[in-house]
Amino acid sequence: MGMLRDRMADDLKLKGLAPITQESYLRYAQRFADHYKDRSPLKLGEREVRDFLLHLVKDEGIAPSTHGVCLASLQFLYRVTLRRPEVVAGLRYPKVPGLVLPHVLSGSEVVKLLGCITPLRPRTMCTLIYATGLRISEAQNLLIADIDSTRGILHIRKGKGGRDRDLPLGEKLLLVLREYWRLLRPEPPYLFPGEVPGQPITRTAICLALRRAGRAARLKKRVFPHMLRHSYATHLLEMGIDVRTIQVLLGHSNINSTLRYLHVARERLATIKSPFDVLGTPDGDVLR
């Protein structure tokens, strides 16, 4: 896209969208331009936009949520950057399924997974994500200054929706972070710097480390960073933490985003035995 991409990047910054949203919009706009190769988006219209979206849905099988992000990207490109809103005026967002249950790990699976992650930087970051329920973008952008070890607080700045929030840092997690600091002494400002100086660790590096760890731990589930956040929320519910508190910890603006974890927790009810089931058995000896 060349200069057009630079113009769109500037428009996204002026709009104040979250960095991860800017990245997604630019990525899908670039895919749209690459799809038509030598034909610039300046010369394309509604028919080409519809055909591209249809290609993603039919040929690549993208999910409705991904379809929606791609459409939002092209709407921004034509409405804001190119000032041709008529191109996307007739396009509608796809219907998204009402409830998609999150994939979670059991407590023993989390222990196995974290123990298999190498090297130290991605292992510490993944431990932090599970221990606090952070989004991967929030963990990537953590600064060293965001750790308030005296008060036991983790400051999250400009999370999803541009909202700030504070999270508790448990003693066990603080020990992990102190050991990480002692061994690696990360270069400021980021707590988890990447290979490029002045930039945080990449999402790709974390995903790759998790996939390798999942295979090493012989987990049958496909492991991805957000699964650690899902597991954190579900395990909090199983520990008796109320939904409203979990909503605040996760940084959800809508309680419905948090309520779906109730369905996952309820699935595990089937694995809970009644005291009556163990009466008269060796397991029943614990009943006093």
Rounded CA separation 200/136 (Å): 11
Give the active site residue among 226, 244, 266, 268. 226
pLDDT at 144 over 90: yes
The catalytic residue among 35, 160, 212, 260 is: 160
The reply to whether 60 and 127 lie within a common domain is: no
Residues 170, 124 share a domain: yes
Q: Are 187 and 117 in the same domain? A: yes
Choosing from 123, 229, 230, 235, which is the catalytic residue?
229
Q: What value does the mean pLDDT take over residues 91-108?
A: 79
Confidence of residue 264 (pLDDT cuts 50, 70, 90): low
269 pLDDT exceeds 60?
Answer: no
Tens digits of residue pLDDT in 228-257: 999 998 888 888 888 888 898 898 888 777
Q: Are residues 196 and 60 in the same domain?
A: no
Q: What is the pLDDT of residue 72?
A: 96
Q: Give 98's pLDDT tier (boundaries 50, 70, 90).
A: low
Decide if pLDDT at 205 tops 80.
yes
Kindly state whether residue 250 falls inside one of the protein's structural domains. Answer: yes
| 160 labelled catalytic | yes
Which CATH number does the domain housing residue 34 bear?
1.10.150.130
Tell me whether residue 275 is in a domain: no
Residue 184 placed within a domain: yes
- What is the per-residue pLDDT for 1? 77
Instruction: Answer yes or no: 221 catalytic.
Output: no
Look up the CATH number of the domain holding residue 233.
1.10.443.10
Please name the residue ranges forming H helices in the chain: 3-15, 19-35, 46-58, 64-76, 107-116, 120-132, 136-140, 171-184, 203-216, 225-238, 243-250, 255-267, 275-278
Residues 170 and 132 in one domain: yes
pLDDT at 96 over 90: no
Domain-located, residue 66: yes
pLDDT class for 117, splitting at 50, 70, 90? very high
Of the residues 135, 180, 190, 232, only one is catalytic, namely 135
| Least confident among 11-15, 89-93, 218-222, 284-288 | 284-288
> Is-catalytic flag, 35?
no
Is 31 an active-site residue?
A: no
Name the domain count of the chain: 2
Q: Please give the residue range of the domain that contains residue 135.
A: 107-270
